[in-house]
A = this chain, B = another copy of it.
């Protein structure tokens, strides 16, 4: 069962075609159980990825305000070894970052071999908010789709698995989450008039997301659309995709670790023999 929906290269995306409250007939309890099971496997695979040290994993999370990026990160971190798993948030660029090309700050944060990095927002902001808010002229942002594809192909060709998730929520669900935040004394301070104003640009963001999903789904790094109105289904869909991507690499990782183990054992035995032990 594929809980996430993969965008094929060349496929033209209309977000209206996607059900944000999809749950594939699962109840909350069933989904949580499956997600935990997959989460355990994800943790095992991530330890092998780290030990084998020849592959990196980059997880890109994009979505509108309140779409659940922080929640998804919490789920992944709960199931992985935090030592080799980093989170890189991309906020409003600093003056130093703005004085370089838009991929400069992003490239620095890509994962090393053996590592996992989760991007909380990403270089896609440079064709999303930058486009919608008019922070750069069309002449500039329109070139970025190709530049992003070339960059992600470089990462992929260099041993980095790039998984991109668009957390897709409905306008109605967003309203409910904003109202919930307003009522929650721990979260209310984070809200601003801008969060509500942002909703006026809902359709502009829809167009910008559709273009990013359509133009930046490559063989090397396709987008996955995650129905995100139900938090428990969102976590399940992401966990499944990560596990199904890494699982086929497990055999090669095991073999390389076993071969390393044999070498080390032989070295140790030779050392002991030389000391006459």
Give the Cβ gap from A78 to chain B, nearest Cβ, in Å.
26
- Whether a CB of chain B sits under 8 angstroms from the CB of A150 is yes
Q: Which residues of B contact A56 (CB under 8 A)?
A: 99-100
Q: Which residues of B contact A147 (CB under 8 A)?
A: 150, 153-154, 157
- Whether a CB of chain B sits under 8 angstroms from the CB of A114 is yes
- Say whether A107 contacts B103, CB under 8 Å: yes
- Select one of B96, B102, B110, B115 contacting A158, CB under 8 A: B102
| Binary per-residue interface labels of chain A (189-233) against chain B in the complex, 1 for a CB within 8 Å, 0 otherwise | 000000000000000000000000000000000000000000000
- Whether a CB of chain B sits under 8 angstroms from the CB of A9 is no
CA distance A115 to B99 in the complex (A): 9
Q: Which residues of B contact A11 (CB under 8 A)?
A: none
Give the Cβ gap from A141 to chain B, nearest Cβ, in Å.
11
- Say whether A101 contacts B143, CB under 8 Å: no
Interface size on A, residues (CB 8 A): 28
- Select one of B104, B112, B143 contacting A107, CB under 8 A: B104
- Whether a CB of chain B sits under 8 angstroms from the CB of A108 is yes
- Whether a CB of chain B sits under 8 angstroms from the CB of A8 is no
- Whether a CB of chain B sits under 8 angstroms from the CB of A236 is no
- Whether a CB of chain B sits under 8 angstroms from the CB of A160 is yes
Give the Cβ gap from A60 to chain B, nearest Cβ, in Å.
16
- Say whether B101 contacts A114, CB under 8 Å: no
- Whether a CB of chain B sits under 8 angstroms from the CB of A113 is yes
- Whether a CB of chain B sits under 8 angstroms from the CB of A155 is yes
CA distance A100 to B110 in the complex (A): 8
Q: List 15 A-B contacts (CB under 8 A).
A: A53-B99, A96-B112, A99-B112, A99-B113, A99-B114, A100-B110, A100-B158, A101-B110, A102-B158, A103-B154, A104-B107, A107-B107, A108-B108, A150-B151, A151-B154
Q: Which residues of B contact A112 (CB under 8 A)?
A: 96, 99-100
Q: Which residues of B contact A96 (CB under 8 A)?
A: 112
CA distance A153 to B104 in the complex (A): 13
CA distance A158 to B143 in the complex (A): 10
- Say whether B110 contacts A160, CB under 8 Å: no
- Say whether B108 contacts A158, CB under 8 Å: no
